[in-house]
Amino acid sequence: SWNVGVMVGETADGIDTDFASKGDLGTADQSQEPYSANNHAVSSRAASSNNLGNIHDNRLVFSRSVYSFDIPEDVRPGTMVGLVIASAPNQGVDDKVYAIQEDDGNGLFVINPATGNFTLTRPLDFESVKYYILTVKAANTDGQFSVVRAYFNVLDINDNPPVFNPDSYSINIMENVPVGTSVLTLNVTDDDEGPNAALTFQIISGDRNGQFTVDRNAVLRVQKILDLEHQSVYSLIVQATDQAQCDSVRFTSSAWITVKLNDVNDNAPEFRTANTVYVPEDTSPGTVIMTVKAVDLDSALNGHVEYSLQQHLPNKFSINATSGELSVVGNLDRELVEWISMNVTASDKGQPSLSSSKCIRVVITDINDNSPVFTQSIYTVTVDENMPRGSDLLIVSATDPDEDTNGQVRYTISSKDFYIDSVTGLISVSGNLDREQIPVYSFVVFALDGGRSPRSGTATVNVILRDLNDFTPIIQPTRMTLHLLENITTVPQIVYQETESPKGDVLGRDDDLGSNTKLTYEIIRGNEDGKFSISANGALSLVQSLDREIRGEYLLLVTATDGGNAKMLSEKAYRRDL
C-alpha cells in the first residue's frame, strides 16, 4: 500500500490513473502527505495491489484499493476530510457517481457524488469512537462500478483534563511511618491517549518542607521524616499535568489531600523550670515555693505528665503529682542546712512511659532568728591600778550564726571607765583606775547584730585592780613632845605607843595592800647615844636611864617605810623633854 497526498477540494483531474500503461508497479510502497483542514493536519492512506495487471480499459477503478484518512478529533463539521477517486481510463465521458454504500458512522460523513470529497457533518470524539469504516461505491452510466473501503481514523488531541475521583482525600498515618512508605494511591484518569494521557504529579501547596512526594503512578509517599510535634496536619494540593507535546495545550487538575498524623510516644517530657529556688528559712510548712513545669510534645496520654520527687533529706518537701507544685512540709533552718538538692522526675503516661529528671536546688535564705552569743558569759581580768588611759585590757568575742548583716556583730559597753571597739571587741581603759577607791569593776558588754530588728547578747566583765605601791606611809602627828623622868631604872620601858591605829601601827599607816602597807620604823637622828629604840610596830622605848643634868632634851627623827618594791617613807620628829 501507499499513501497519496490530496488536498481537500481536489478533483481527479491531473491524477494519473492509467494503470494499463503503468503495468506492474512493483513492491508495495507507503507514503503519507498531510493536508490542511481548518488548520488541522489530515492525511490519507491508500493501498493497491503489487500486480494490478492489465485490466479492461472500460472498467471503473479506484485509485486505491483501500483508503485511510487520519482526522484530528477537533476538526469542525463542514470540513472536507477525505477524497476517493475512481476512473475508467478509456471512457470518454466522465459520468461516474460516488455514494456511501455502507456507513458505520451513521451519517457522520457525506460524500460529494461528483467529486468523491468527504465532508464531516458532526463533531468527532476520539474518546468515544476512534475510527470509522465506510464502503464507497463508484458507478457510471455504462453500468460499471467499483467498491472501495475507506477508513477514517480519529486522531486524539489533548482535549480532556486529568480527572481525580475523588478530588478530596483525608487520611491518618502514624508519625513514625518510614521514609518511602506509600500512604495513598490517587484515583486519576485522562481520557486522552499517548502523551496527552501521560500524567506527572506535583504537590503545589501545603508541603513547604517537602515531606511528601507523588510518583508517576499517583502514589503519595513519605519523603522525609515526619514529626507530629512539629506539624500534625498537612493540607496538600496535588496537581496532575498531562504531557501534551505543546506546553500551551497541556491540561492540569488538582486534588486536595488532608494528612493527619497520629501520635507516637517519641518525646520525653522537657523541663521548663529554673534550677534554683530561694526560700526563707522561716517558711511555714504547706507553703508552695515553686511550680515545676515539664512539657511533653506528644498528645493525649503520651503527653500527660506526672511528677515525683526524690530527696536526700526526707520530710522537708513534697510535690503535687499533677500540678508540679513544690511545697515545704518540714521546718527549715539555714544554720543547720544551707541548701537542699532533690531530683524531680517527670513521666508521661505513654506505653511504654518516657521520663526525664531534673536536679532542683533549694537555697535556704537567712532570717535574723539568732542572737549573738559571747564566747564566755563572764570575763575576768586582773590589771594594775592606775593604768594609763587607752591601755588595752582584753578582747571579748561574740558570734551570730545568721548570715550577712544578720550575723554581723557590733559591741557596746555600759561603763564610762572603759571603752570597747565596736568591731573588734577590744576593751581599753578610758578612766582613772584606783584600787583604793574601786578595787573591782564589774560591767556589762553588749553584742548587737545588724538585722532590721537587731538581736543582742550580753556578757559580764570583771576588772580586778592589782595594788600598786602608790601611797606613802602616814605618821600622824608629824611632831609630838614627850616628857620623861630622869633616872628611871626600869629599862627598857615603852615610853610611847599609839593604840588607836586602825592597822595596829602605833605610829603610822599605809593605804596600800600587802607588803605595800607593811611599815618598818627607824630612828634616824637624835639617838646618837642609844638611849632609845623603836619596835617593828612603832613602839618607842627607853633602853637606858636618862640624866637631865647631862642632857635635858632629845630630838628624835623617826621614819616609817612601807614594804613595796618602790619603798616610800614618812618622817616624824619626837621631842623628849626630861
Bridge-based pairing of strands 252-262 and 168-174 is: parallel
Cα dihedral sign, 323-326-327-329: positive
Instruction: Look at residues 262, 297, 321 and tell me which one is the last residue of a structural domain.
Output: 262
Whether 178 is in a domain gets the answer yes
**Cα 214 to chain center, whole Å?**
39
Whether 479 is in a domain gets the answer yes
Residues 118 and 170 occupy one common structural domain: no
* Interatomic CA distance for residues 504 and 203, integer angstroms: 131
* Interatomic CA distance for residues 56 and 442, integer angstroms: 169
Is the bond preceding 492 in cis, omega lying within 30 degrees of 0?
yes
Instruction: Look at residues 129, 155, 181 and tell me which one is the last residue of a structural domain.
Output: 155
User: Is pTM beyond 0.85 here?
Assistant: no
Residues 308 and 395 occupy one common structural domain: no
Closest by CA position to 428, among listed 463, 397, 466, 468: 463
CA distances from residue 72 to 37, 123, 132, 506 in whole angstroms, order as listed: 9, 10, 13, 168
Residues 172 and 249 occupy one common structural domain: yes
| CB-CB contact of 492 with 542 (8 Å) | yes
Instruction: Look at residues 204, 230, 262 and tell me which one is the last residue of a structural domain.
Output: 262
Residues 174 and 215 occupy one common structural domain: yes
CA distances from residue 91 to 31, 57, 96, 265 in whole angstroms, order as listed: 29, 8, 10, 95
H/E stretch holding 22 reads: helix 19-22
CA distances from residue 32 to 39, 47, 474, 565 in whole angstroms, order as listed: 17, 11, 168, 158
The one-character DSSP state at 497 is -
Residue 249 three-state SS:
helix
Phi, psi of 486 (to 5 degrees): -80, 170
Say how many residues make up the chain.
578
Whether 530 is in a domain gets the answer yes
Burial track 114-151 (b if 16+ CB lie within 10 A, e otherwise): ebbbbebeeebebbeeebbebebbbbbeeebbbebbbb
Domain count, the chain: 5
Bridge-based pairing of strands 479-483 and 569-577 is: parallel
pLDDT in tens, the chain (578 residues): 223 333 333 333 333 333 333 333 333 333 333 433 333 444 444 443 333 444 445 688 999 999 999 999 999 999 999 999 998 876 655 788 999 999 888 899 999 999 999 999 999 999 899 999 999 999 988 888 999 999 999 999 898 899 999 999 999 999 999 999 999 999 999 988 889 999 999 999 999 999 999 999 999 999 999 999 899 999 999 999 999 888 888 999 999 999 999 999 989 999 999 999 999 999 999 999 999 999 998 889 999 999 999 876 668 899 999 999 999 998 999 988 999 999 999 999 999 999 999 999 999 999 999 999 999 999 999 999 989 999 999 999 999 999 999 999 999 999 999 999 999 999 999 999 999 899 999 999 999 999 999 999 999 999 999 987 766 677 767 787 888 888 887 888 888 876 544 444 445 666 666 666 677 788 888 888 888 888 877 788 888 888 888 888 888 888 877 765 555 555 656 565 66
Whether 232 is in a domain gets the answer yes
Whether 168 is in a domain gets the answer yes
CATH of the domain at 452: 2.60.40.60
Q: Is 180 left (phi over 0), alpha (psi -120 to 50) or beta?
A: left
Whether 53 is in a domain gets the answer no
Within 111-252, residue ranges assigned H as helices are none
Q: What is the DSSP string of 28-76?
A: ------EEEETTEEEEEEEE--S------TT--EES-SEEEEEEETTPP
Residues 485 and 569 occupy one common structural domain: yes
Amino acid at 326: L
Residues 188 and 216 occupy one common structural domain: yes
Residues 229 and 276 occupy one common structural domain: no
Q: Please give the residue range of the domain that contains residue 508.
A: 474-575
pLDDT per residue as tens digits for the range 215-230: 999 999 999 999 998 9
Question: Any residues with CB less than 8 A from the CB of 211 and at least 6 apart, and which?
Answer: 222, 223, 224, 226, 231, 234
pLDDT per residue as tens digits for the range 382-427: 999 989 999 999 999 999 999 999 999 999 999 999 999 999 999 9
* Interatomic CA distance for residues 310 and 330, integer angstroms: 15
Residues 83 and 142 occupy one common structural domain: yes
Whether 88 is in a domain gets the answer yes
CA distances from residue 547 to 486, 490, 525, 530, 550 in whole angstroms, order as listed: 5, 14, 19, 13, 5
Residues 383 and 452 occupy one common structural domain: yes
In the chain, how long is the greatest CA-to-CA distance? Answer: 233
Whether 144 is in a domain gets the answer yes
Closest by CA position to 414, among listed 387, 390, 436, 442: 442
Burial track 204-237 (b if 16+ CB lie within 10 A, e otherwise): eebbeeebbbbeeebebebbeebbbeeeeebebe
Residues 150 and 167 occupy one common structural domain: no
How far from each other are the two terminal CA atoms of the chain, in whole angstroms? 202
Residues 354 and 382 occupy one common structural domain: no
Cα dihedral sign, 374-379-383-389: positive
* Interatomic CA distance for residues 96 and 98, integer angstroms: 7
Side-chain-facing half-sphere of 223: CA atoms under 13 Å: 12
The one-character DSSP state at 20 is H
The one-character DSSP state at 284 is P
Residues 295 and 356 occupy one common structural domain: yes
